Structure 1
């Protein structure tokens, strides 16, 4: 008999949660995600000898990010159950179309990055260190797998869930969710990422556009995201690009970060226009 009030309260909570504003639901997601991650993150932080509020080295950041991203799908599955929705609501349909779209997006992302660096090469701002091609080949597979994983997780969370929570017009939903996407990158990189905030926001908007044009499927956005991460990470790991000292930061990006420069922003804008022209 005493169980009935508990069941009734649970039903009332589910109904109330489903009707709360998008920011409340997103905040709840972050709260649960963070609380679930803490028991995993604390021992990892001790293991990698990271002290809170200190900048993260790459070897410290990777296990922390990996553990955080590993549990994200489970938290989203819980949200889906709480709202009595199928998991496919978040844009992931396990069929051939998902992987076909992801493959197309991956190709577009790779070609786009090569065009971006090709233009900078034509301007004489960078040159390619051909002696490091073997290092690039060695770095290609692990960075490809990293890009696929990061792309899948972030698209599932930010486009599949966040973007879908805002029941407004496309541009309002895309801009708000993309600002959240951009600002959250500061958690790992700190103030070093601040110059990239406009670029990260535009990147998020382009990925929202890819999500919508792919019929609310994350496939195309996932592929694009993975392709960008793969190429930039592999080229950085191989140290295959060498910037000329005279290369202007407005063109190549502040601290040589592509998303913090004019060409990087134009590259994203061109990608978005291309997706709209071909699929719109």
Structure 2
């Protein structure tokens, strides 16, 4: 993980995600449930959760594996880890959390399950990172993770981006292969990375869901506030003045209006659910 990425997740982004933990976990709950079902954790499993963030997946796993197993969550973001640790203490959970980079953290070859919900797309050298991650798995150990498909498949990202692009200064097109949320959107590239890293029996399943952005008395306002803090529109808030931010809010309101129904605003989400064995 490069220093820029580490700085990003320990500065404003990390604090924002920490503050929004409950909302983000609610929005991502369909993926969490699908990933845990695919992972099929068992009593006594030893689990490594990569990019564990605020601990949602690790805490759920700890309730399944019991005292005979163990769950270790790894992340580079101190703000998110502090939330995870506080949640574990409040729940009297046995889940443990450490600040470390999974790309280089030495493994002991003793993990039954290596899992990640959106924590593996940020490596500078993904093949090398996944090779190192394999050192944590026991022979035939399971790898299960979720990663985003393309922005075009994910309206929660594509719709607000299209709305605010006219408000952003000109910039070079983003490298789709660069570390970031959509780095593993190409299934052929993803399979190639895992094969190079030595993983076997690789399988990708498409999973589509409704990404909840806002609900309550004013779901549109809630969705706009969500997107002004997380995702492509957040850049406008960081870089623009008050006039630009007001224009972004108006653009998002117009863009989200067609998705408002039954007291909520939800946009399409789509991920790869990935399985492999060591």
Question: TM (normalized to structure 1)?
Answer: 0.25
Greater share of helix: 1
- Structure number with the higher strand fraction is 2
- Bigger Cα Rg: 1
TM-score, normalised via structure 2 length: 0.25
Higher relative contact order (CA 8 A, sep 6+): 1
